[in-house]
Amino acid sequence: MKGSSRVQDCVIGSGAGGAVLAMRLAQAGRSVLVLEEGPEVDKSKFTQREGAMYALLYREGGQQTTTDGGISVLQGRCLGGSTTINQGDCVPMEPSILDHWRQGFGWDSLGLDNAGFAALADRAMREVGANPIPDELINRNNRLLAEGAAKLGIAGTNLQHNRTGCIGSGYCLIGCAYDAKKGTILSHLPAARAAGADIWCDSMVVRIDTRNGLRVLGTDFEVSAERVFVCAGAIHTPAILNRSAIKPAGLGRNLSLQPQAPLVAFFDERVEFHRGIPQSWGTTSTLSVDAERGLGGYSIEGISAGPAMTASLIPGDMAELKPLLNLYPHVAASLCLVPDRPGGSLSFPKYGRPKIKYTPSDDHTARLREAMKTAARIYLAAGAREVAVPATDGPRIKLDSDVGLIDDMPLRSCELPLISAHPQGSMRMGPGRDAPVDLEFQVKGAPGVFVCDASLFPTTSSTHTMIPVMTLAHLLADQLGA
């Protein structure tokens, strides 16, 4: 029994938003308690064994999906949240996205210009040690993607990441055992603790009681606070508020998942795509961004996965799966990342986890096909002997003339496994009636209850969301005078 505590600020969640806020508030002299639903896991416990680590670090052991099972929604459930299990990509938000939100979603009232927002993003980048990935650390998997794209005249770039001293083990998705990836467990949370913040792990929040002050209630604890900051992510922040009978208009609506599709290629040479920095290069000329429409197009980025995750993304029985896994050392793989428009929603049964309802739009599906066709052409240009779409009856592409087979794929739910690592938008921030959170980050109708995570974004913020979330956390801290 953890018992009871009284603090000025209670922060729910220890990922990109919660950790930055906890640090800033504690450094401002506030008494701060961070509640993390998952366990505290340090490098000595990162065993690099997929089965054990997914169960320990991921929400639902990595099995959280949309209601139809078609999209795996990956989120961290451990100290540091998704910053502990992400690929370390640091991508600030484009200024045009902020312009898009000003024009269409009332963010002009926020009183922050692009230069001010960029300064906050720069601070977030410095705090996690963001730096461009040097050419010598681009692994063979990503290098093949870059080489093939160059032959086709498709521009791309080395990504930025938050690693220092990376040895290229390739286990980023299941925790860095070498303290190279500077997620919040190595950056903001130690700073928060040094400033006096307390952190309780294995502490699931049942509800927030707003009667007679604010109390955060769990199964074995009770916290009284002047302010509560809900930073549990786009799926579980609205779930906590719903359980708390805090239900502003728009709660759980306008969800974006930014679904990604994997593509694999087989080479005669050994690629060993599971080694080295997983996502170190990506296409840029295939993306589009402007103030009118926001983020569009698509990006193709090299990816890593262990044998277990690789197998989970290939539909079919063992007779089909085993020959593919036998070729594992010769596989190159990428993700076709396609920004979407808000169209999903959440529902909250009386018991159990929130239900994620999402159907890809026709526009998203069309861009996904185009992304897969481009990736196939890139791999063929790089010398692949065969490219495969890991889908039920997915085409096997050996020649440029085969690429059109992707147009004939039905792309029915579950037949092409999709991945979401960037859920956003279920607690849209803005002045409109459908925005549950106002421009001071406060839940409408719930004084003293704030939200700070990717659920605030009106539309897709970036191809990777860690830095945009941290940027918003710094903005909120500035607003509060921290």
Quote the distance between the C-alpha of residue 451 and its chain's center: 17
* Domain-embedded: residue 81: no
Q: What is the mean pLDDT of residues 423-446?
A: 96
- Domain CATH number, residue 104: 3.50.50.60
Report if residue 235 sits inside a domain: yes
pLDDT averaged over every residue in the chain: 94
Let me know whether 261 and 408 are in one domain: yes
Asked whether residue 52 is assigned to any structural domain, the reply reads no
1: pLDDT confidence band, cut at 50, 70 and 90? low
Check whether residue 163 and residue 193 sit in a common domain: no
For residues 347 and 407, membership in a common domain is answered with: yes
- Which one, of 17, 11, 13, 12, lies nearest residue 465 by Cα? 17
Position 252 scores a pLDDT of: 98
Q: Are residues 306 and 334 in the same domain?
A: yes
User: Considering the domain boundaries, does residue 263 fall inside one?
Assistant: yes
Span 157-169, pLDDT tens digits: 999 999 999 999 9
Q: Is the pLDDT of residue 321 over 80?
A: no
Summarised one tens digit per residue, pLDDT across range 232-288 is 999 999 999 999 999 999 999 999 999 999 999 999 999 999 999 999 999 999 999
Instruction: Choose the final residue of a domain: 395, 420, 445.
Output: 420
Contacts of 1 (CB under 8 A, 6+ apart): 220, 221
What's the pTM value of the predicted model, to 2 decimals? 0.96
Q: Of the residues 420, 443, 459, which one is the last residue of a structural domain? A: 420
Whether 311 and 432 map to the same domain: the answer is no
Q: Is residue 56 part of a domain?
A: no
Non-local (6+) Cβ contacts of 352 within 8 A are: none
Nearest to 312 by CA among 41, 82, 74: 74
Domain boundary among 397, 420, 443: 420
355 domain-assigned: yes
C-alpha–C-alpha distance, residues 296 and 366, integer Å: 12
Domains: count for the chain: 2
Q: What is the pLDDT of residue 314?
A: 67
77-128: pLDDT as tens digits: 999 999 999 999 999 999 999 999 999 999 998 988 999 999 999 999 999 9
Q: Which pLDDT does position 293 carry in this prediction? A: 94
Do 413 and 276 share a domain, yes or no? Answer: yes
Quick check: 443 and 455 in contact, CB under 8 A? no
Q: Which domain holds residue 21?
A: 3-40+91-127+185-252+424-479
> Does residue 141 sit in the same domain as residue 270?
yes
Whether the predicted pLDDT of 447 surpasses 80: yes
Residues 29 and 106 occupy one common structural domain: yes
In a domain, 77, yes or no: no
Same domain? 261 vs 239: no
290 and 384 co-located in one domain: yes
- For residue 14, being part of any structural domain is answered with yes
Whether residue 351 sits in one domain with residue 436: no
In this structure, the answer to whether residues 393 and 284 fall within a common structural domain is: yes
pLDDT tens string 338-367: 999 999 999 999 888 999 999 999 999 999
